[in-house]
Structures are given as C-alpha cells and as structure tokens.
Structure 1
Amino acid sequence: MTEPAPIPVFDGHNDVLLRLLKAHAGTAETAFIEGTETGHLDLPRARKGGFVGGMFAMFPPPLKSSSGMDRMQGGSYAVQLPAELGLADAQASTTAMASILLRLERAGGLTVCRSVAEIRAAVAKQSLAAVFHIEGCEAIDTDFRMLDLLYAAGLRSLGIVWSRPNAFGHGVPFVFPSTPDTGPGLTDAGRALVRECNDRRILIDLSHLNEKGFWDVAELSSAPLVATHSNAHSVCPHARNLTDRQLDAIRESRGMVGLNFATAFLRPDGSMNADTDLEVMVRHLDALIERVGEDGVGLGSDYDGATMPARIKDVAGLPHLFEALRAHGYDDALLRKIGTENWYGVLERTWGR
C-alpha cells in the first residue's frame, strides 16, 4: 500500500537564507536544490515533507557572536543579546541574502511570489513559493529609501524587530519565565514604518516585538495582526510567546499565528532541547485554536533558526506532526487549514490579492 501524500504546508518562517549565506555562500543554489546533510530545509527534503512554500526570512546576523538561543537552558534565564547592527552591516547581509533568494529563483529552485495568486500558481506547477521577508529592520533607513528598493525586489512581509532593539522599536528578549511586557514599544520611526507598510500592503510580523510594541501596532495598523512564528504563553511562559489577550486581539483583527517549532518556546520548562515530545506542539495548537479560532492558526517552523523536536528533525519530518494531530482528533479539513489555507487567507486579507 502506498503512503498518502503529505498535507501541503505553507510555512510562516524559515532562516534557510542565513544558513546558505554562512555555510554555502558560493554554492547556495547547488546546496539548496541538490540538498545537504546539515540544516533543516532544502528542496529534496521539502518535497518529501510536503513543504510547498513559505516566508523566507533575511535576518541580519550578529557580527561576532551567536543569537544566544543555544543558551536557553534550565529553569530560568535571561540571555544577553548581541548588540544592534549598524545600517551598513545590516544592509550588506540583507542584500546578500536577497541575492541568494533571487539566484535560487533563476536556478529554478523556487518562485518569489508577490500575491496569493502567484503562490497558488507556483504550487500548482510544483515550484516552491517563496515570500521575501525580513526579520528585524536594521537594514532599513528611517527615510525608507531601502524599503522602496526591497519592495521593488519583492519584499511583502517584515518583522519590525528581532529580539534586540533597533531604530524602530524594542524586541522581546529571551527571558524565561517572563511575560512579553519587557520595555518600551515602537519609536516614532517605528510608527512611521507601520504606516508605510500599510500603504504598500506589506505584512507586519509581530513575532519578536515586545508587548508594548504589539499594542502600538494593533492601535496603528489597518491590517490583520500576524505573528508568523510565535506560541501560546499559557503553555510555555516564555517572553517570546503571546498572552491570551494578545491572541484575542489577533482573532478580532482576523489575523494569524504560526506555531513556532523552536523547542524553548514549546516546552513548559523553556529549554532548547531536541528531546521534546510532539504532544507539547499539539497542546500549543489546541491553545492557539481556542483563542484565535480554526481560521487563524498555521505553522511558522523557524527551520534553520532553532532546535527542532527530534521526531520532526527537519522539513522532511512534517508528516510526523500531522500524524500526531490526526491521532489527537484533528480532521483533514482542519489539517488543510493549518497547512496552507489559513496562510493564504490572511495574506489575501493583507495584500488584497
């Protein structure tokens, strides 16, 4: 008997471009299209796991230190984050990752999509559908000249901050246990950025924003509230996760939350540990659906950006999550919503097409 085809997945967040930049800068197309032994995401494993596309992030990396995620261990911690990047350094790494994305498209590894119609067309022809996303706007100047250029290159989604502060706002640090209410919200430049994104219909990603920044966006933005890779604070009390009140606001806006597979944001003990049972992912999805509804929850894996549960391991392991959800009682209609349909819906409501 042949195995059923995997549930198609459009994913809210991955960091494969940063991995390719660091490990395969001169051979990125070959590494992605032919596959590698390391990392979480490439074309062969995407095909195996049912991954049909997603948000391909460009995260300006720290210059001399790691992000600190590997230090999230034990019952409590407050990870010291790397310093904010200067504009020139952030622009250099962001444009390098953008170049990799566009070269992957030229090599036939994926299709850069600017509308849901283009996403559906790419998936129909069995090409990975990639949305140009930046995580942390250090590369954008406060006059928004770089925003104009990135938008012309295909940018349709951005996270105002990563967890460190920048010119536009304050990120939520890696603190456990903690609420996300950790400091000031958006700056004046950040408020202007929200308006610029609304004018261009660029999706604003609330993941990594602290709670005050979240409410600043909620007050200012006319678009659905979206957290591409965040989890339920009621299950894991990490500062990076969303409170019930935040989830209620996302629901009221007809927005979206993508389940983050990073184990420190899943586990009730906040540890970045691959020995994590899929049951806790099911618990988060139950909690997210309870607050946001069946039409507002999807996946936001954080592939190539964090430690995954060992049972999933990489993108080829996505069917294991759907097996666990089926065993828990999720039917195929709900699995299809979580896999692709909810993302398509919120992108249509944000982009208008």
Structure 2
Amino acid sequence: MKSWWPRGRKAAGEAAAPDTTPAPAGPAHHAEHVMRRLEWKVIRRLDGLLQGDYRTLLRGTGLDLADLREYQLHDDVRHIDWNVTARMQSPYVRVFTEDREMSAWFLVDLSPSVDFGSGELRKRNVSAEFVAVLARMLTRHGNRVGAMLYGSGVDTVIPTRNGRRHVLHLLHSMLDRTATGESGPTRLHELLASAASMIKRRSTIFVVSDFISEPGWEKPLAQLAQRHEVVAVRVLDPLELDLPDLGLLTLRDSETGEQVVVDTHDATFRKRFARIAAQREAELRQALVKSSVDALELSTDADLVDAIVRFVDMRKRRSQLSSGGLPAHLRARAA
C-alpha cells in the first residue's frame, strides 16, 4: 500500500510543531519539554476522567483468591467452590483479583509514511505522544514498559523498566530520529515476528502503526495475539480518507519517492480516491477482527484524551462481558 502526500502545501504535508512554546536546545531537553507538557495537559485530565480505571489498561499474568461469597445469578459457574458449597449447603463462588505484575511493550512503526500530517500534528507526533502518555500512566502504577522501534527495520529495542526517567528515554528515542529518506516499503510483519521471538513472558503489546505496509502482517499479528494481549493502535490522518479539491497536486510516495501529478478538481477522481480509501478501511478492520485484537484509532485531528478514555471504556466493557458481568441476553446483544 503506497503512502502518498501532496508536496508544496502546508495543509497537506508540512505539519507545524505540536507546541508553540519554545523548547530548550538539545534532543534530551526536548523530550523533557514534551513530557512536561503531556503531564500537565493530558495526564492530569486523564487522572480526573479515569478515576481508578488504570487497572483496565493491563491484565495480570495470574489470579489471587480475594474472597468467598454466595453465588449470584450473573456469576461464572466455573468459579463455584464446591467444598465450601457442600459445607454451607448453599452455592459459594471464589472472587479473584488480578496479579498486577505485568509488562507492556510498544511496537512502534516509525517508517517514513508516519511523517505525514495535514494539520498541526503529524502521525509521528501522535504516536510519540500516545506512547509517552500510556507509558507514564502505566509506570506510575508499578508496571514495566519497553519498546521496539521500526524505521527501515527493527533498529531499536528498549528493555522493560519502570519510572519516569525510563519513559523519558523511550520518548527521546522516538523523537531523536533523523529522516532516512526513501527506505522502501514498510514490512510490518518483520516487526511483529521480531516481537514474537523476543518477548517470551506474556505481556500486553501495543502495535502503534498506520498499517501502511506490505501485505502479510495479518498472520504474525494473529500469532502474537495467541500468546499475548495485543492492542492495534492505528494512527491516521483525515486527508488519507477524503481528498479535498486542491487543484493540481504532485503526490509523492513517502517510502519509495515515486511521484505522480493528479487533478483533485476532478470530482470523479476524488470519488474514486474515497472509494478506494473506504475499501482499504474495511479490509483493515476486518483483518484486525480476524486477528482477535482490540483496536484503537488515533487521528491527527482528534483529542488524545478522548481516544484513551474510549479505549479504557471499551476494555472495561470487554472485561465485564468476558467475566459474565451482564445477563446473557445483554451479553449477546453487546457482542
């Protein structure tokens, strides 16, 4: 799948900096500046909105017995303690709490196609901010995070650790990357295969990408989801879905350098572009469903806080459904 963007127009490729406040000189200081801005403007808002729902971001590797109580209609019969039931002459179920000892990995696609953005932010900025916010939220609650970064290949592996300094190192690694020019098409399956061979312990894995890649990533993604809990974080820009009337444009493939001149004033061309984009969207979503992974979309023109809150709400509902927390007729309707 090629990634085209217009040349010579700010609205279609020359994205402005995400923050107008001047940052101190140096990449490390820049990461600190971005981290402080995110802590003040994003994480503080999330603290007020999530209200203790951080536990839904990760699921532990095991369960600890927390309590015994009488069976209720919505309970999972597999949790009935038959020994206690026999003694009490009434059904009792075991109540578990999840082990919080869990690691999270971010598989981040930083190939040339993510340098596109039609507004103030590029997809690369959105990816970096999402990873920084989620990593900081998780490490503040005792979890460990690591990352694998993909440029023209898997070129950086950051082992799992916790703490703010580690998150800064992760953010710095994402921001302090010089453009390599045309590097050929993205091979997302290489990133997924590398993760499968390297991450041995069960973890929560966030695949952060625009999914503009050579085909063949679907099977490795599904295989990764068989062992780990995988979340596909798809980063996109509105211009990739609907091309406005901008007249004659020169479009350049960001990964191969191939160029083509198109007339966006032609309504037929714009409709064909929208139809192809819609078809690709449907195929992508179908592939993610078949891979049995949760999916989250981040747009360059959308609010990051709203996206994360939606994601947490989705996981909370999924947890309720899987544990039998809703009546059968409502579970069937929600599914």
TM range (shorter): 0.3 to 0.5
Q: TM-score, normalised by structure 2?
A: 0.36
Q: Which has the larger radius of gyration?
A: 2
Specify which structure has the higher proportion of strand: 2
Q: TM-score, normalised by structure 1?
A: 0.35
